[in-house]
Amino acid sequence: MLKNIMFGVLLSSSLFSQNIIGDFFKYSTAYASFSLNAPRYQDDRFAIIGGLSTGDLIVERTDRNLKPDFQTSFGLRKVGRFQYEPKRGVKSAGKGGTWYDGSEQNANESATFGPVKGWEYLIKLSEGRQWGNDYVNREFWLRYIGDYMMAKVGITELGLEDIQYKHADLRVHLTPEALGDKFHVSVGVKHRQHPVYGFDAMILDTTWYRGQWWKFAEKAFGIDDNMWYQESMLEGYDENGNPIWKHDELLEFVDGEWVKVEGDGPFWNGQGEYWGHDWLWRDTDGRIFAYTDREYFIYHFPNMLENYIQDVKVGLGNQNETSLVIGLDFYHYGDNWWLHTWGNWLPVHYGHDMHAYHNASHYQEHLVLKGKPHEFEFKDAMWHDWNDYDMGAIFGVKVQDNLGVFAEGRYLYYWERPAYDIKLGINYQFMGF
């Protein structure tokens, strides 16, 4: 969507003047970077590969393939710089400024309004590994700020926080004359497109927990279970042809005597009994990976179900919401202190799709009222209220020439999925003794 919009803007601009394209890209900066860090240290690990029946363990050291942390970045940007931000780019590098490398978090990338009017844009791609976790971050946006309106389209993907959405934002904004350009009040609509958020496994697919779980497992995962039994435990068959099993107690030697094992024991039959039969489970290649229902249910079924539900979510595609958005922005810069704050509140939303968050919010209310998941009734496309918001603040004070304090932070809370970063600090420069 964003690519098409940018292409359309550039194409239409070229119809009027070749200079417009040049002005559009003027003062923009393209960059690429790569960083590599030593992997986080991890202790040796060992695997037990034999000795279950003999008691003499056979242990082997597990080779550790420790992968380094890294980050590759590419970007194209034309974003205004606030006065408190460091100068970056080729002209400023080595002269009190630094290079663009993709790791910087400029305030104007998150703030609703920048320090200049006109077109601004950001294409920011980064891929890397942090503490063994691979991630991909993407941020694309195109923004226009006029005298009384602001328009923005973009794509945000935060790999480590597992937040991704596309958005289009259109607002009118006012600046009270008494405050000059320091204060903005904005009102408008924001459209967002995102994966399914807010539903648990029981509402996305009710079949797995309302029927016999073993039949669901066979159908959903393509695996197979087959009965095994001890022939001496089969006493015969009833008139309907059903097997009659002998029930033996499981006994444990405790303090010189044999006592009955409490609880379910290693099988499902309960009361510490052994019935001489159970089910073994084979994978899609016919290999046995669990010898009892209990083993499969406890150690394998949860992971298989998690992957299954994730595939269900992906199959549902992106959901759409249009929201009322109200924004406040304040910016002051002086020689001794500066303050930049912004915030956006999205209180009312129109969910366009069945699994949009208006139904997820209704579902959470349904659970609070002790309703069962399969009894939940999805609402049609409609308006619904819940609180989404994002905010940020940057504050700095020069207490004296060699002493200063600062604080900055950003917080995003969409669909009950938070993402934030906060920094507090003090700087003191020794002037001599």
- pLDDT-derived band at 16, boundaries 50, 70, 90: very low
pLDDT in the model for residue 432: 64
Question: What are the distances in angstroms from CA 385 to CA 14, 223, 348, 362, 379?
Answer: 43, 43, 4, 10, 14
Whether 327 is covered by a domain: the verdict is yes
Whether 13 is covered by a domain: the verdict is yes
Whether 104 is covered by a domain: the verdict is yes
Phi, psi of 425, deg, nearest 5: -170, 170
Work out the angle at residue 38's Cα, subtended by the Cα atoms of residues 34 and 40, and round it to the nearest 5 degrees. 125
- Give residue 159's domain range: 2-196+317-428
Whether 242 is covered by a domain: the verdict is no
pLDDT in the model for residue 276: 86
Query: How far is it between the farthest Cα atoms of the chain?
Result: 103
Residue 361 CA to residue 372 CA, distance in Å, equals 15
Q: 281 near 288, Cβ under 8 Å?
A: yes
Residue 40 CA to residue 44 CA, distance in Å, equals 13
pLDDT at 346 exceeding the cut of 60: yes
Whether 272 is covered by a domain: the verdict is no
- pLDDT-derived band at 11, boundaries 50, 70, 90: very low
Whether 409 is covered by a domain: the verdict is yes
Q: What percent of the chain has pLDDT over 70?
A: 88
**Mean pLDDT of all residues belonging to the chain:** 85
- pLDDT-derived band at 255, boundaries 50, 70, 90: very high
pLDDT at 284 exceeding the cut of 50: yes
Beta strands in 25-148 (DSSP E): 29-37, 45-50, 58-62, 69-78, 118-130, 133-145
Q: Hey, is 307 helix, strand or coil?
A: helix
Residue with the larger pLDDT of the pair 90 and 405: 405
Whether 112 is covered by a domain: the verdict is yes
Q: Hey, is 3 helix, strand or coil?
A: helix
pLDDT in the model for residue 169: 95
pLDDT in the model for residue 178: 67
Over the stretch 185-212, which tens digit does the pLDDT of each residue have? 999 999 999 999 888 888 888 878 888 8
Residue 323 CA to residue 293 CA, distance in Å, equals 48
Residue with the larger pLDDT of the pair 110 and 20: 110
Residue with the larger pLDDT of the pair 23 and 32: 32
Question: What are the distances in angstroms from CA 149 to CA 4, 64, 192, 328, 390?
Answer: 22, 56, 19, 14, 20
Which of 14-23, 188-197, 338-347 is the least confident region?
14-23
Q: How many domains does the chain have?
A: 1
The tokens for 364 are 């959470």
pLDDT in the model for residue 10: 47
Whether 126 is covered by a domain: the verdict is yes
pLDDT in the model for residue 257: 94
With tokens 């919010």, the residue in question is: 361
Q: Hey, is 348 helix, strand or coil?
A: strand
Residue 366 CA to residue 346 CA, distance in Å, equals 22
